[in-house]
Amino acid sequence: MKLSRLYSNKPEIFEPIDFTSGLNVVLAEIRLPENKKKDTHNLGKTTLGRLIDFCLLSGKDKHFFLFKHEEYFEEFIFFIEIELLDGTFITVRRSVANATKTSFKKHKDRKQDFSELPETSWDHLDMPFEKAKDLLDGILDLRSIKPWPYRKGLAYLLRSQKDYIDVFQLDKFKSSHKDWKPYLAHILGFNAEIIKEHYSKYEELLKKLEVEKIIKNELGESADNLSEIEGILSIKQSETEIKQKSLDAFDFRGNDKEKTKQLVDEIDAEIADLNSKRYYLMHNKKKIDSSLDEERILFNPEEASKLFEEAGVFFEGQIKRDFEQLIKFNRAITEERRSYLLEERAEIDAQLKDVNSQLNDYGNKRSGTLSFLSETDTFLKYKHLTNELVILKADIESLEDKRKKLHRLQELRKEIRMLDSEKKQLQTLIEEDAAKLNSDKGALFDKIRILFNKIIEEIVDQKAVLSVEPNREGHLDFRSEFLDREGNTTSADMGHTYKKLLCIAFDMAILNAHASDRFPHFVFHDGVFESLDDRKKKNLIRVIRQYSDNGIQHIITLIDSDLPQQISSEETLFEDSEIVLKLHDENDSGRLFKMPPW
């Protein structure tokens, strides 16, 4: 798969671009002096990559320039001619106004113009968007990237400036690693199926752990005690049956007996215990209050001085200072004990508050029970017993709900254990696969790794390494790093310039490693020369041209001010045939779209 031609139904505004099978240069010339120092020039070199992506059926995005400024582009129809692996061609027709419909035409010759082709002559006319992508995927027949569709790896083949930040994780893949790591692992030669399955198990496990957390929060302290719930439920169900029989028989003798036993055995006993506890707490509080009062220092040196003066006794100088120091010392040694006493009193106050609250509750229960036992009106007892039965049934319903949740929690934990076990098994397989491929000198990954280092070394005279290793979770981590003369990793790749070179080298290594496969054979790199020194620029073009001669179509964009300054009269950086598009800033005719900027 290579790009052959890009054109529109309005050639006076957007001229046809014919791509060569090797190196393709889009050169933007800055001719106006006032534009020399600008960072952006809006001539369209970056826009070209986005337009190619549109023609290759990218999704409709309201922020995309064709739709954001639809008033300028609504009448445009774009055509892209693609060279297939068998040497034939497919032309894709897509309009701005009807972007969800796509037409296709297969043909044998390149550089065709189907902008005025009758609708009846198209092989497939106005196909719905998703079906159109499926059809194009089948026509391109890129078996080496299966089971992924052709669009999955296009972001690596159409790198914009924002895609040079990271070699592996592109701007469109910021959301989730599962969206790009399996694909990248596949094209590097790793077993992507187990990686995909591992991500699936991992996400499923996280979801079930979250559900487990929710259920545990709902259950509270009873989250792990199914036996206790079952026991309490059994008791309350038994109580319900007894009370229901009493109601049905209109016989409250059994309930009277139960109330009497409850009053004697439970309520009165609890009240006695609580009163005893309250007495003990109040006694302790009184002792603490006494201790705090005793620790107050009542002696005042100033008052003592006045008293001694009235009596004619000397109380100044060292004597007064000694008393003041003694008071200060006593205060210091008692301060810590006082803080402990205050803390203990606060705890006693809290306990007293709780005891008093419980005494009030039991007092109310005692009063209610005595009232029930002394009640002679049978209907009032019936009403009272009915209320108790309603409360019991509500308790049973709540306990049954907890029991269901506990059973669900047990099942969930069983599923979590199984998922965790399956995830660990997959993690083991991933680790084994990674270890095997990292050591296999004939593997695809080793070939890519060698090509990657060779490309970097030819450009910057420095070695670089690709590495792929599983992390603690079992997910693959991809790294690209420069090496120093001793073979140790350096931080050179942290700079934007060197990061860009790593990205370009990685893309080229991938394409060259798959040069004989049913794989895309083109790549678009925007602004390749920016911030590089002249020597690296020359080396980069030499390497790009070398690999383009091996069957890789390379499309690069650059500004003339970024061209190497030191070129001898015998040197020619680009052949005329390699410059497929020349842009300039003199007027609108120099833009990609020959119209005022939008």
pLDDT in tens, 12-46: 999 999 999 999 999 999 888 887 777 666 899 99
pLDDT attached to residue 302: 62
3-state SS of the chain: helix, strand, coil percent to 5?
A: 60, 15, 30
Q: Which segments of the chain have a pLDDT < 50?
A: 251-252, 256, 263, 298, 315, 372-373, 376-377
Pick from 302, 290, 288: which is nearest to 349 by CA? 288
Residue with tokens 């079930």: 208
pLDDT attached to residue 431: 96
Pick from 544, 519, 533, 538: which is nearest to 183 by CA? 519
**Crossing angle of helices 534-548/496-513, nearest 10°?**
10
HSE-CB at 385 with a 13 A cutoff on CA atoms is: 28
pTM for the model: 0.72
pLDDT attached to residue 497: 82
3-state secondary structure of 4: strand
Q: What strand order describes the sheet that includes 579-584?
A: 158-159, 522-525, 553-559, 23-29, 579-584
pLDDT attached to residue 554: 97
CA distances from 497 to 362, 437, 503, 504 (A): 79, 30, 10, 11
Say whether the peptide bond before residue 147 is cis (omega within 30 degrees of 0): yes
pLDDT attached to residue 25: 96
pLDDT attached to residue 280: 78
Question: Quick check: 452 and 467 in contact, CB under 8 A?
Answer: no
**First vs last Cα of the chain: how many Å apart?**
33
H or E segment to which residue 451 belongs: helix 444-460
Pick from 73, 67, 64, 81: which is nearest to 21 by CA? 81
**Distance between CA atoms of 349 and 338, rounded to whole angstroms?**
16
Question: Quick check: 88 and 112 in contact, CB under 8 A?
Answer: no
Long-range contacts of 130-136 (CB under 8 A, 24+ apart): 132/57, 132/101, 132/102, 132/104, 133/57, 135/104, 136/56, 136/57, 136/90, 136/92, 136/102, 136/104
Q: How many CB atoms lie within 10 A of CB 530?
A: 18
Pick from 503, 535, 540, 508: which is nearest to 523 by CA? 508
Please report the DSSP string for 453-484 in residue order: HHHHHHHHS--EEEEEEE-TTS-EEEEEEEB-
Beta strand 101-107 with 89-95 is antiparallel
